């Protein structure tokens, strides 16, 4: 997702140009590629599944497997386990690597005054053509899914948190995360900075949001080849750019645009 709240009236952005949006927010969900990859349920090996799911040749499928960068977690279900690998490859190749490279290039070139980047690690319903698990496994105490267990973070599945439309709540942190996301969003709309002043949160009685941002620290703009980024959950976590070795393997290194996009 890209947030600017400004109309961009040109086809491109030039470094240091005053007409550019001044501050932007880019971000993805943690496994966004799960919405844009096939799910072959009759393939019999990881390589054949990757070929079908991603639409690549045997050579490239074997390159992915042999790289060791996209581990195969064996649950004795080859099609589901291969879909997991396929979704991670597609997330990096289609969303994560290019966005992270964009944010770093913007920081270095001055195309934007400030560039904020996030990854949503707590999500709900999104675009789900393959009908994969988006909420976590149903377990005792979690009738709507356990968000603390692995599940797919599909395309658009963080929108409910940004706009306060999350139902049903799987646990208390779903509510607290929604409040936190909305405070980040609201602050950016008001000031072009996602960081709400702590005295304002205190006066309004937003104690859970206040506790969350005190644990995570300020959401700083990208300034280096490592980020920083904000991993959104409750509480959120300041972190570095994700999957850089995988992006290098996929020919989308962090300096991709600074090297001419090659």
pLDDT, one tens digit per residue, over 35-92 is 999 999 999 999 999 999 999 999 999 999 999 999 999 999 999 999 999 999 999 9
The confidence score (pLDDT) of residue 1 equals 53
The confidence score (pLDDT) of residue 204 equals 92
Determine the topology of domain 2-249 in CATH: Rossmann fold (3.40.50)
Q: Which residue has the tokens 């706009």?
A: 163
The confidence score (pLDDT) of residue 170 equals 97
Positions of the chain with pLDDT under 50 = none
Average pLDDT of the chain is 93
d(CA 129, CA 35): 6
Tallying the residues shown for the chain, one arrives at 262
pTM check: above 0.85: yes
Instruction: Give counts: helices (H), strands (E), the chain.
Output: 9, 5
d(CA 178, CA 124): 11
């Amino acid at each position: 997702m890209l947030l600017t709240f400004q109309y961009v009236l040109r086809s491109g952005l030039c470094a240091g140009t005053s007409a550019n949006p001044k501050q932007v927010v880019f971000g993805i969900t943690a496994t966004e590629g799960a919405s844009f990859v096939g799910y072959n349920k009759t393939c019999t090996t990881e390589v054949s599944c990757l070929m079908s799911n991603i639409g690549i040749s045997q050579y490239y499928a074997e390159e992915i497997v042999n790289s060791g960068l996209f581990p195969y977690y064996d649950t004795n279900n080859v099609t589901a386990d291969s879909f997991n690998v396929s979704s991670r490859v597609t997330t990096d190749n289609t969303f994560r690597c290019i966005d992270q490279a964009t944010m770093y290039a913007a920081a270095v070139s001055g195309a934007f005054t400030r560039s904020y980047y996030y990854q949503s690690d707590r999500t709900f319903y999104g675009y789900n053509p393959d009908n994969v698990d988006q909420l976590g496994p149903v377990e005792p105490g979690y009738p709507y899914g356990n968000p603390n267990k692995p599940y797919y973070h599909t395309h658009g599945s963080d929108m409910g948190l940004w706009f306060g439309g999350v139902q049903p709540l799987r646990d208390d942190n779903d509510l607290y995360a929604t409040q936190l996301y909305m405070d980040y969003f609201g602050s950016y709309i008001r000031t072009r900075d996602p960081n709400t002043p702590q005295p304002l949160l205190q006066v309004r009685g937003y104690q859970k949001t206040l506790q969350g941002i005190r644990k995570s620290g300020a959401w700083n703009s990208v300034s280096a080849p490592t980020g920083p980024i904000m991993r959104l959950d409750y509480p959120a976590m300041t972190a570095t750019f994700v999957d850089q070795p995988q992006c290098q393997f996929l020919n989308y290194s962090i300096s991709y645009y600074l090297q001419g996009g090659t």
